[in-house]
Structure 1
Amino acid sequence: MNKALFLATTALFSVSAVGTAAAQDVDEIVVTATKREQTLQEVPIAVSVIQEDTIENAQIQDAIDLQSVVPSLRVSQLERTSNTTFIIRGFGSGANNPGIEPSVAVFIDGVFRTRAGSALDDFLALERIEVLKGPQSTLFGKNASAGVVSVVTKKPEYNWNGVVEGTLGNFDQRIVKGYLTGPINDIFAFSLSGTYNERDGYFENLGDTADYNNRDRYSLRGQLLAQPTDNLEFRLIADYAEIDERCCGTARVTDGDAGAIIRDLLGGQTPNVGAFDYVIANDVENNNEIVNSGLSFQAEWDINPDVSLTYIGALRRYDDFVDYEGDFTTLSTLGTNIRGVNSDTMTHELRLSGVKDRFSYLLGAYYFNEDLVINDARLYGDDTRNYVDLLSAALAGEFVEVAPGVNIPNAAASPITALEVGLGLPVGQTFWQDGGGTFFTAEQDDEQWQLFGQFDFEVTDRLTLTAGVAWFNADKAVDFRNVGRTNPFSDLNFVDIGFGQAFGAAVNGLLTSPLAAAVPDPSVFANGITPDAIAAYSAAAALSDGALPSVAALQAAAADPEQNPLLGLFPALQPLGPLTPFPNSVEDGTSSDSDVPYTLRASYDLTDRTNIYLSYATGFKATSWNLTPDTRPFAQDFSALLASGELAADGVGGQPVVNTAIALQSLGIPNQYTGTRFAEPETTKVLEFGLKTRFAWGSLNTAVFRQIVEDLQSSIFQGTGFVVSNAGEQEAIGFEFDAVIQPPMIEGLTFNIAGLYLDSQFNDFPNASVLIGGEADLADGVADGIGNLDGERPAGVPEFSGSFGAEYRVPLSAGELFIRGDYQYESNVQVVQNVPEETLSREIGMLNASIGVQLDNGLEALVWARNLNEDEFFTSGFPTTLQPGSISAYPNMPRTYGVTVRKRF
């Protein structure tokens, strides 16, 4: 087959295969698309391919398990099942904010899955999985700025065959899978597949009898294949999947004063500090219900031997409802914490490919439309007020001695109560009330177009030049209107209150000084802080020769945490701040982005078994809107919104709200809780050189690359909400390799070795979200949660990661015996950006193993274990919600093991 045509038509470039090659020569490992095949070694792009035998023999159940055999891929799951992020080469974003789409695009049978939660089904009847590394926007378009994960299922066959499979494992795991395919007649063939997976959780909950991190999911897939002629093929695919699980348990890494308050004074419970005991303390079940379904249609028409036309169209529905623990204690401080995400998508793709002598081409158009609806509610519980009274007293340094040497926070001296008294509000009945909080409905319409083309020219039999280009346009319209809040404490302006206190004290000082005579009418101060009062005080202060502070000095002191103690309550006790609905007269709620990603590549066959390539590619990801309760206008819009009466117009009585965060920003003092409306588009560029060679007993593929992402979209949880921003620039210089080795002296033995070295850093990230009060935060002397990470290594990106696998096959009289093991390693790394490495880091060294028999009659049995050596590490972490000084994290899965029996027919 013409090499250049394959490059243009498949768009699924591969350089490495993860799988057992003992039964086939390495030269025969292929990737197939549109009925065309090419050996992996000849395709000049960095990609890992996971084959069916690896998926089955290594007991890789879903996308999360893939990272154990692909070092460049990381798949992280956070506080619920659907909150999953795909990262390739250290680049990726998208977790826990439905408005921020992933940087790694996941395709299943050529159809884009816009939500990571829609790509979590258990694997069944797969042909292969491909992990494309680096930007793939030229051909894959939407959200492929960091890479692509492409899952290819088996086509129906015209010969009857199938498989049934059952698994029993620890934690009472039960998995049943089935696949059947065969002909309907000479033209039509079908396939049916299904899987059911149930397992008890491995977390015990002190708050109820339920276990957590369980499995309860099933999926169904049906396909109809029609081949009415030799050059025409149609494929109809319908799928349906449900997940109903409790996820995800956390551990306590550090425990601040809040933990002692919860346990010792309020009788609540928290997880043990630093323990991998898999015990949590929740008062709310983390229920996550996902329903994912779709229908796709594919048509392949070989117009003539040199020209082909391909169409893929799909309709998909994704529903994700979660009722989850928000405060990670048995107290009801966040009593309601629910979110529903509903997504309806429609996609169309049309491709025309052809070849003429040494020239080939691929021309295509792609359309995507998504209607997204989010319903979100965060409401306080009946323990909230008592807890916050004690916590605010601790933050203010108000303690009472209850026994010699034993001091506890003095609830009677709570700043919360003092503020109610000082503001003339009903004491104990205003702030932090049961049922208070916020809820909203947001809708987003996302419409995207792409025109693309790729052209290959075989200059000689060994040299091929490739150029690809695309035009991309994304239009989004967001409606964030249905907002309801009862959260007056987060509406308070501590700057204004602090100025009022300081001004009142200054006026008292004036009226008791000889300068009182300089005020013609002292009653001007009786009506509060009015322009006349300020003018009268300023006139007297000007005569004091510095004895009385100026109004400007009082205002500066009100914005200084060292002089205004009220600012110590911000931001720890002002979550769920005032929301400004939009569109409004200032913000139209729309974004329109265009880009022209491109690819340039030269590949050269040094010999029939060794080739090299040099490529340069760019990628693009459109604007991502913050569709959470933490969305806030940008600073430049404050004045206009305030003048129009629309700034946070959800306050009591519908009046505009200028709270502490807005007031500080208006004074030119930046903080993380304004300007989080959306993240700007991110762009990627990569320069890569690769070498691939194959030999009689194996293959070796290597790549050296420099990848840069500008305006990397970031979303960080800071204990009271998510901060959305752009990192100016993140860079990675890396070297990766994949090798398959079959030592000729030991028949049946295969080694799969892969590794990735990354020298990664932020070149530009001056306003990063960091741990409040940490070293990076206090570098500028202000505890605002903002730090400069220029030159720092991005969290979660290890310097080295590797996968080392071995499989040994022994012939039997009626089949084969195999023994398999793979070891996943990651060097030590800071886990998350806003928790210092000395507090939370991880190093991974995890062993998986299996042993089984595969008989000629189709019967197979294997015993398997994952995390056989019980390696312990944290997959992610965060400042604990509403608990200043505490850090929580997600432990990895403990050892799992079981027996799988499979029968092919």
Structure 2
Amino acid sequence: MARGATNRLMTTAGLAALLCATTTTALAQATTPSAQTAASDVAAVDEAEGPSVSEVTVTARRRSENVQEVPIAVSVVGANTLEAQGAYNINRLTQLQPTLQFYSTNPRNTFINIRGIGAPFGLTNDGFEQGVGIYIDQVYYNRIASATLDFVDVEQVEVLRGPQGTLYGKNTTAGAINITTRPPSFEFEGKAEVSLGNYGFKQGKASVSGPLSETVAARLSVSNTDRRGTIYNVATNQHVNSQDNLGVRATVLWQPSDDLNFTLTGDYNLQNPICCAQIYARVGTTQRALNRQYAALTARFPGYRVPSTNPFDRLTDLDAPIAARNEHGGVSGKVEWDVGPGTLTSVTAWRYWDWGPKNDRDFTGLPVYTKVNNPTKQDQYTQEFRYNYDGETLNFVAGLFAFHQKIRTSGVQQTGTAASAWLLAPTSALSNNPAVLNNLLAENDIRLDNTSLAAFGKVNWKVSDRFTVSPGIRINYDKKEGLYDSVVTGTASTGARVRVSNDPTSPLFTDPWVAAQRGVQASKFFEVDFSDWNVSYDINLAYEITDDINAYATYARSFKTGGVNLNGVPNLASGLPALEVAKIDPEKVNHFEAGLKTQLWDRRATFNVSAFYTDIKDFQASVISNISGSNVLRGYLANADKARSKGVEFDLSVQPSERFSVYASGAYTDAKWIKFVDAPCPPELAGGGTGTPPGPPATPGANSPANCDVSGQRMPGISKWAFSWGAEYNVPATLLGREGEVYAGYDANYRSKFSSNASRSIYTDIDSYSLHNFRVGFRTDEFNIFGWVRNAFDEEYFESLAVTPGNTGLISAQMPDPRTWGLTLKAEF
């Protein structure tokens, strides 16, 4: 562990010691942890009347409501569940939420989907947004990399499934994740938590809150996580894919009167691991010439062998430096003023994101690429005004929202001495000369200015005591201005350093070395802007069948804003960029949903079920297309004609007694491309010649189609079946003179097979797997100590598989955690 991480952990642990006493963190719902993953997230005990389900309050519709009365599919995970199951970031939520998918090879290359939709697999591009909105304390986090932080003093996490465009904005076509942290308290309180585990795992959390005066209260929270990597790099003799996370959050609450609150919050987060390595998973045969596939290419370097062809040996030999420094933070101010029958709310926020990566993008121990780094800086400003009116038969939310974002990326890509042999055709004499492609250097300047304005409203009209109609609308304006400037320089056959250009009039254009370099990468410049108006609207119908059974139906028309391609675009025959594909059209979504929310058995059980059908027109995805007048195929972001996701979900929690609780959640999701005719081809149909007809798959030297029609195929990243389940049992006990309870918990999840490539491939399907976690401990009102083991049976599976560049057949893997175990001590007073 790095000295800085050690010092941070010692500081956190020291604060934990100062906070003294230990206990399990109490939820507002006072629940047992294992039952909280169901839709109501609760199973509380009323000592006078026996076990019952208590009310859980959510803000899914920008007002406080009982989750069972909200006519949308929403799952709530409380603080106890997050802590008991080690779900300390969004990634780990996927084990609790069957409909949530999270894929990440590093913070910037992160995708969050709900019900299989939200973001495409493939290209990372700052010129478009994801379809799952992330909100922390009502502040919108636009770039997903800035939301990959450890949770710091979180009270609960709401996962809203289905389009949320009316209240949550333009880019929530798949849903939203609404995270709420603990507010300051006017009673002095503190808590602490320390965890130790294998792989050098060390985690400390601490929080203290109390009054500063009669009208001012404050809360200070800190979290630090450190663990050595689970993959060993034989080239650098170090463990990689480590964890080194620090989070600090401070909040001050001023209540000058009963009807006026001011909340000021600041946070700072730093992730600085030795990361991120994707390792050798397998090799598949493509249609590239046999002498340009992986086995033949590595044979050109005598003595080179991959450290292991078994990915579960967790070995790599990446020779370029790797890093994933991810720093982000910000300040927000919230004002809540009770005005007559309603509340006026203002939320003002500034956030920044500073991303400092280093990558090895040839995925080998050979110096093909020595640098592929795209450091990025972002500033984001948001302002929201809302008025919530409460009446007996009518209530509504109306508001205005403004957003501005500035992103600046200064990237570099550099090749090494192995590039000529790896990237040029072996039949060319130039491939035997390392100097031809050595130090081919691309310096990139990529800029985006993004502005959005919106007005929105949502009405709840109680037609009768049991029937409520809730229409909503949002009008949104977006403007994006992008710039892409890549300056590529290489060495000409004369020994001079020259600009590598697609311009036929440029000096040394016909030089054989420069021509070879141009085939790998060439200079490019373009500017592009996008602006558009859009309208989202929805209507919810809610009917209270009985006091404990609620039915609802929803129709939503939503959209995801258009964008601009900031990873480059194909060239025309003239060498100029094809600006006609530099813009990405908005996604248009039609969504239908119906569900039941029930509480049964004297509220000992909660069972919620929903069915949904979502059509997406112009789904934003990676495409391959021949631009008119160009002979070059290149991938870029554009629009698939139509995609669809439909399915059924359920959440169940039962607490038959105060000693036992059980939960289960499940989802059947059928997500398909309805019409997508110009998709990238899978590796077995790529890399070959351009003639017709296309040859058989996985046949070296055969002709390859220009693109592939994947209409009717399953969309990537989504399992048809997914489940989470678990239970907890406790018995009264006395330990060291303290009365409490001994408890044991079990939590598990299952996902069926899914595709890990933009177009389904025989090489990138990930087989079904299940993970099983156990914990056992002792807790009182004053402390909680428990041991845990996660992935207890050491399941061997992949988080994702990716086709590496060049159609060589090499498939890389993003590896999950192996079996981990440890001990946690929690404290509260």
* Normalised TM-score (structure 1): 0.77
Matched, 1:48 2:78: no
Cα distance 1:780–1:685, how it changes in 2: closer, same or farther (>3 A)? farther
The residue number in structure 1 matching 2:146 is 118
Deviation digits for residues 4-25 of structure 1 (CA, Å, limit 9, x no counterpart) = xxxxxxxxxx991345545773
Aligned-residue offset at 1:847? 0.8
Matches within 5 A, 1:613-624: 613-624=552-563
The residue number in structure 1 matching 2:585 is 680
Amino acid across the alignment from 1:249: Q
Aligned-residue offset at 1:487? 8.6
The DSSP-based 3-state class of the residue aligned with 1:69 is coil
The residue number in structure 2 matching 1:625 is 564
Aligned-residue offset at 1:31? 2.2
Going by fraction, where is strand more abundant, 1 or 2? 2
Work out which of the residue numbers 277, 280, 283 in structure 2 matches 1:248.
277
- The answer (yes or no) to whether the contact 1:750–1:808 under 8 Å persists in 2 is yes
Q: Relative to structure 2, which stretch is displaced further, 445-454 or 257-266?
A: 257-266
The residue number in structure 2 matching 1:796 is 717
Matches within 5 A, 1:90-105: 90-93=116-119, 96-105=124-133
The residue number in structure 2 matching 1:690 is 595
The DSSP-based 3-state class of the residue aligned with 1:742 is strand
Q: Structure with the greater relative contact order (CA < 8 A, sep ≥ 6): 1 or 2?
A: 2
Deviation digits for residues 433-462 of structure 1 (CA, Å, limit 9, x no counterpart) = x11042210111000001001111111000
Amino acid across the alignment from 1:17: S
- The answer (yes or no) to whether the contact 2:467–2:543 under 8 Å persists in 1 is yes
Q: Percent identity?
A: 27
Amino acid across the alignment from 1:40: V
The residue number in structure 2 matching 1:415 is 428
Going by fraction, where is helix more abundant, 1 or 2? 1
Amino acid across the alignment from 1:826: R
- Write the distance in 2 (CA, Å) between the matches of 1:102 and 1:486: 36
The residue number in structure 2 matching 1:311 is 346
Cα distance 1:575–1:358, how it changes in 2: closer, same or farther (>3 A)? farther
- The answer (yes or no) to whether the contact 1:254–1:274 under 8 Å persists in 2 is no
The residue number in structure 2 matching 1:832 is 757
The residue number in structure 2 matching 1:408 is none
Aligned-residue offset at 1:429? 7.8
Matched, 1:178 2:206: yes
Deviation digits for residues 75-134 of structure 1 (CA, Å, limit 9, x no counterpart) = 1111x2432211100002167322232111111111111111211221231110011111
- Write the distance in 1 (CA, Å) between the matches of 2:281 and 2:518: 23
- Write the distance in 1 (CA, Å) between the matches of 2:754 and 2:551: 32
- Write the distance in 2 (CA, Å) between the matches of 1:488 and 1:91: 47
Amino acid across the alignment from 2:430: T
Amino acid across the alignment from 1:820: G
- Write the distance in 2 (CA, Å) between the matches of 1:354 and 1:193: 33
The residue number in structure 1 matching 2:439 is 435
The residue number in structure 1 matching 2:576 is 647
Matched, 1:590 2:529: yes
- The answer (yes or no) to whether the contact 2:266–2:331 under 8 Å persists in 1 is yes
Deviation digits for residues 502-524 of structure 1 (CA, Å, limit 9, x no counterpart) = xxxxxxxxxxxxxxxxxxxxxxx
- Write the distance in 2 (CA, Å) between the matches of 1:259 and 1:451: 58
Deviation digits for residues 280-323 of structure 1 (CA, Å, limit 9, x no counterpart) = 1200232011110100000100112x121001010011000101
Cα distance 1:32–1:438, how it changes in 2: closer, same or farther (>3 A)? closer
- The answer (yes or no) to whether the contact 1:872–1:891 under 8 Å persists in 2 is no
Matches within 5 A, 1:144-183: 144-183=172-211
The DSSP-based 3-state class of the residue aligned with 2:673 is strand
- The answer (yes or no) to whether the contact 2:43–2:654 under 8 Å persists in 1 is no
Q: Relative to structure 2, which stretch is displaced further, 253-262 or 820-829?
A: 253-262
- The answer (yes or no) to whether the contact 2:442–2:486 under 8 Å persists in 1 is no
- Write the distance in 1 (CA, Å) between the matches of 2:282 and 2:399: 51
Amino acid across the alignment from 1:86: I
Cα distance 1:749–1:722, how it changes in 2: closer, same or farther (>3 A)? farther
- Write the distance in 1 (CA, Å) between the matches of 2:677 and 2:612: 26
Matched, 1:450 2:463: no
Matched, 1:768 2:679: yes
The DSSP-based 3-state class of the residue aligned with 1:440 is strand
- Write the distance in 1 (CA, Å) between the matches of 2:415 and 2:42: 51
- Write the distance in 2 (CA, Å) between the matches of 1:435 and 1:111: 44
The residue number in structure 1 matching 2:109 is 83
Amino acid across the alignment from 2:808: P
Cα distance 1:124–1:716, how it changes in 2: closer, same or farther (>3 A)? farther
Cα distance 1:37–1:346, how it changes in 2: closer, same or farther (>3 A)? closer
- The answer (yes or no) to whether the contact 2:684–2:761 under 8 Å persists in 1 is no
- The answer (yes or no) to whether the contact 1:105–1:149 under 8 Å persists in 2 is yes
Aligned-residue offset at 1:34? 11
Work out which of the residue numbers 226, 241, 244 in structure 2 matches 1:213.
241
Amino acid across the alignment from 2:655: Q
- Write the distance in 2 (CA, Å) between the matches of 1:610 and 1:708: 29
Q: Relative to structure 2, which stretch is displaced further, 64-73 or 572-581?
A: 572-581
Aligned-residue offset at 1:816? 2.3
Matches within 5 A, 1:156-305: 156-245=184-273, 246-254=275-283, 257-262=293-298, 265-270=301-306, 272-304=308-340
- Write the distance in 1 (CA, Å) between the matches of 2:270 and 2:52: 40
The residue number in structure 2 matching 1:563 is none
Matches within 5 A, 1:511-522: none
The DSSP-based 3-state class of the residue aligned with 1:900 is strand
Aligned-residue offset at 1:737? 0.4
Matches within 5 A, 1:505-544: none
Matches within 5 A, 1:816-831: 816-831=741-756
Matches within 5 A, 1:293-372: 293-304=329-340, 306-372=341-407
Cα distance 1:834–1:36, how it changes in 2: closer, same or farther (>3 A)? closer
The residue number in structure 2 matching 1:376 is 411
The DSSP-based 3-state class of the residue aligned with 1:179 is strand
Cα distance 1:197–1:686, how it changes in 2: closer, same or farther (>3 A)? same
- Displacement over 6 Å in runs of 4+: 33-36, 487-493, 571-575, 775-779
Deviation digits for residues 661-697 of structure 1 (CA, Å, limit 9, x no counterpart) = x9xxxxxxxxxxx975343211222100011110122
Aligned-residue offset at 1:830? 2.2
* Normalised TM-score (structure 2): 0.84
The residue number in structure 2 matching 1:16 is 39
- Write the distance in 1 (CA, Å) between the matches of 2:394 and 2:520: 59
- The answer (yes or no) to whether the contact 2:594–2:612 under 8 Å persists in 1 is yes
The DSSP-based 3-state class of the residue aligned with 1:27 is coil
Cα distance 1:73–1:612, how it changes in 2: closer, same or farther (>3 A)? same
Amino acid across the alignment from 1:30: T
Deviation digits for residues 554-603 of structure 1 (CA, Å, limit 9, x no counterpart) = xxxxxxxxxxxx9xxxx9997754343122xxxxx110021100011110
The residue number in structure 1 matching 2:820 is 896
Cα distance 1:40–1:235, how it changes in 2: closer, same or farther (>3 A)? same
The DSSP-based 3-state class of the residue aligned with 1:118 is helix
The residue number in structure 2 matching 1:108 is 136
